[in-house]
Amino acid sequence: MVRLPFAHIIDDDEAFFSLVASRWQMGELPYVASFDVKPPLLFLFYVLANLLTGGGLVAIKGLEIVCVAWGAWALFRMVSAHAGRGAAIWAAGLYPVYSLSLVGVYSPNLFIELPFVIMAYDSALRACKSGSMRQVALCGGLMGCAGLIKQTAAFEAVAVMIFLAVSLPKVSRLKGLGMFMVASVVPLLIFLLYFWSHGALKPAFDDIVVSAVRRLGGDVAQTSDGKLRPISIMDGFTRFLACLKALYALVWLALLVALRYRRLGAGWPRPLLLLCALWLGAAGLILFSMHAMGEVYAQSFIAPLLILSGIMVSQGFAFTDRNRIWGVIACVIAAVGVPAFVDRGSLWLDPVKGRNDPVAVSAVAAELKALGVGPGDRIFVPNRGLMVYVATRTVPAAVVYHPLQVMCAFPTPDPQPLTEALAHRTRFLVVANTGLNMLCETPARRAELAQAIARDYDRVKVVTGKWDSFTIYRRKP
């Protein structure tokens, strides 16, 4: 229910994942027909969502809502078992709220991955408590699945391995770590076998591993004079705290746990606190590894901070029975109010939310259908508005078609992705308002697009929406 009022806010990434899934359903495999650096399990979830709902906006937002609900349930199960019901209610209740922060309203990758990480960490805690190798194997399998959604789950896998190495009984430590590693590679082997059997193993490796590593050095920042420069590691230190500003209330409560640990530590859930400390360390490494230092990369802090703040609110404050309810209410107001204020623009105030104007997308979809465009047809949307494909049930012809990869200096298999995409000479070209360019767009790509339009296409119609507009072009005879 928390995410439903914001279901109209959608970004090109969400539409892109749905497109990759749709092409996969058509027999066009990821990495062969669609270039991207994301691992395949992410796209498989969108395939399942398409099959269950018929595709479209319902599939995209429905998947996000289900995964957030799943993550909240997993968090409640984990915290209630190891820190008490009060902390569990706090963490699970605020989890959907924080799923909207740090641009989570339209960047859902982590919230599809997080249920696997939370359940894996829960299994690690249960394994160390009971010595069960079955729980260790479950932990490894879940972390392997998480890594097939986001590569950065490798940091979280290392954190839980350290926890197992420290917390498992000495007699079963080596066996447990070995079982964790074996179980963690099983999901990977399944996908390797699938892509190998379809002759797509090399492009999958090149995209997921090679291009992902190259991607780390491709981010840019704008200087005071409007020019672009590569982002350096030093930028990470200056942007770190700014990325966490929506989480400041949780950070403050988590710091209080550290300050009061010696006084109250004997009765606190020490294994869970140790695991959360390692989890926060992994989240910090994830944030620093992504040179762009965008807010989205700080989403990994949400779950461990919710757990620590829940422990503090439920066990750490010396509330009297009379004042407890008011103290908890004050903490809830702060925990909800801070992200609501920090993200007020992306959620409410900014006229441009996401990169898809739903009014403009609906209008251009209607026009394309009137022009004879049907499901499965090939069109090209180069610079913004991938929901046009989803709304018309069309697909691109090119391998590289995400606007970020097409219009920016993004490392791609073909060094000239726009040239390759335009070479397909699709019947219709749909260009979003070029006055709303992405920061990273290169002048050379914009000039190439303009030249191709003038040479090969006739303008059919301009369609306007709430804040965006699209120009429909038809290929010249």
Which amino acid, residue 387? M
Q: In what order do the strands lie in the sheet with 428-432?
A: 379-380, 428-432, 469-475, 457-464
| CA separation for the pair 175, 97 (Å, rounded) | 40
Of residues 261, 263, 311, 255, the one with CA closest to residue 280: 255
Mean pLDDT of 443-460: 94
Higher pLDDT, 216 or 404: 404
Q: What is the pLDDT of residues 140-188, one digit of tens each?
A: 999 999 999 999 999 999 999 999 999 998 888 899 999 999 999 999 9
Give pLDDT, residue 439.
81
- Do 64 and 41 contact (CB within 8 A), yes or no? no
Mean pLDDT of 191-216: 90
- Do 250 and 305 contact (CB within 8 A), yes or no? yes
| CA separation for the pair 309, 279 (Å, rounded) | 14
Mean pLDDT of the chain: 89
Percent with pLDDT over 70 in the chain:
93
Please list, in sequence order, all residues whose beta carbon lies within 8 angstroms of the beta carbon of residue 356, skipping any fewer than 6 positions away: 10, 11, 12, 15, 384, 385, 386, 387, 468
- Do 46 and 56 contact (CB within 8 A), yes or no? no
Give pLDDT, residue 103.
85
Residue 405 has pLDDT above 70, yes or no: yes
pTM of the model: 0.92
Mean pLDDT of 186-193: 96
Alpha-carbon 333 to chain mean position = 27
Reading the block at residue 358, the tokens are 């739903």
Reading the block at residue 338, the tokens are 């801070």
Reading the block at residue 149, the tokens are 């959604």
Of residues 440, 444, 406, the one with CA closest to residue 231: 440
Reading the block at residue 336, the tokens are 């909800």
Residue 440 has pLDDT above 90, yes or no: no
Give pLDDT, residue 264.
65
Neighbours of 85 (CB within 10 A): 12
Give pLDDT, residue 367.
95
Residue with tokens 């230092």: 293
Mean pLDDT of 245-271: 84
Residue 382 has pLDDT above 90, yes or no: yes
Q: Which region among 20-24, 102-106, 333-337, 415-419 has the lowest average model confidence (pLDDT)?
A: 102-106
Sign of CA dihedral 17, 19, 20, 25: positive
Question: What residue ranges in 25-66 does DSSP mark as E strands?
Answer: none
Cα first-last separation, the chain: 50
| CA separation for the pair 407, 418 (Å, rounded) | 7
- Do 474 and 458 contact (CB within 8 A), yes or no? yes
Higher pLDDT, 70 or 296: 70
Higher pLDDT, 268 or 273: 273
Residue 238 has pLDDT above 80, yes or no: no
- Four-CA torsion 122, 127, 132, 138, nearest 10 degrees: 40
Residue 19 has, within 13 A of its CA and on its CB side, a CA count of 33
Give pLDDT, residue 308.
94
| CA separation for the pair 269, 242 (Å, rounded) | 30
Q: What is the pLDDT of residues 97-148, one digit of tens each?
A: 999 998 888 888 889 999 999 999 999 999 998 889 999 999 999 999 999 9
Neighbours of 350 (CB within 10 A): 13
- Do 72 and 3 contact (CB within 8 A), yes or no? no
Higher pLDDT, 342 or 295: 342
Give pLDDT, residue 437.
84
Q: What is the pLDDT of residues 37-80, one digit of tens each?
A: 999 999 999 999 999 999 899 999 999 999 999 999 999 999 99
| CA separation for the pair 82, 84 (Å, rounded) | 6
Residue 198 has pLDDT above 80, yes or no: yes
Residue 237 has pLDDT above 70, yes or no: no
Does residue 293 come out as left (phi exceeding 0), alpha (psi in the -120 to 50 range) or beta? left
Please list, in sequence order, all residues whose beta carbon lies within 8 angstroms of the beta carbon of residue 179, skipping any fewer than 6 positions away: 133, 136, 137, 140
| CA separation for the pair 302, 113 (Å, rounded) | 13
Pairing mode of beta strands 469-475, 457-464: antiparallel
Which amino acid, residue 201? L
- Do 14 and 106 contact (CB within 8 A), yes or no? yes
- Do 418 and 408 contact (CB within 8 A), yes or no? no
